[in-house]
Amino acid sequence: MKKLLLTSLLLSASIFAADGYEVYKNKCQACHVEMMTAKYALSHLNELVAPPMVEVSGRLKENIKTTDEEEDVDRYLFILFVKDYIVNPNLDNSMCNTGAIEKFGTMPSLKGQINEDEKQAVAEWLYDRYENTKF
């Protein structure tokens, strides 16, 4: 039942959705590189203005883990977190390590620059894009 409910929530949310990858390219890519190995990132830290997306996705997945056996629940919570963070970024919510925050500063809020559909689409993309990819 719970699974059915979540599935229909997710489905209904994505019928009219924007394309998540397009949203990423237009609103995130200027700061967040899509793909990079940890080794490359470490040796090119000075060229980065934000953590690469592959790192962000993996770290959030490690942090947002419930004991629920349904994988959908973790994905759903991940999406909620991302949708909120991009319009309300703040230190208390950030799961970045302190070193990264010191280097990059807190993300500027995208409030007023991104609509509900785009937030949903980009958050789903951020989860699904790196399904089988590790940083």
Site of interaction with ligand HEC (CB under 6 A)? 27-28, 30-32, 50-51, 56, 82, 85-86, 89, 94-96, 101, 104-108, 110, 114, 122, 126
68 or 105, CB closer to ligand HEC? 105
Among 87, 113, 122, smallest CA distance to 14 is for 122
With contact defined as beta carbons under 8 Å apart, do 73 and 10 qualify?
A: no
Of residues 6 and 21, the one with the C-beta less far from ligand HEC: 21
Identity of the residue numbered 29: Q
User: CB burial class (10 A; 0-12, 13-18, 19+) of residue 27?
Assistant: middle
CB of 58 to ligand HEC, least distance (A): 11
Residues ≥6 apart with Cβ < 8 Å to 130: 53, 54, 57, 58
Least Å from the CB of residue 3 to ligand HEC: 25
**Pick 5 or 42: Cβ nearer ligand HEC:** 42
Shortest spacing between CB 20 and ligand HEC, in angstroms: 9
Minimum gap (Å) between residue 4 Cβ and ligand HEC: 28
Nearer to ligand HEC, 69 or 102 (CB): 102
Residue 18 phi/psi, 5-degree rounding, is -70, 165
Cβ contact 35:135 at 8 Å: no
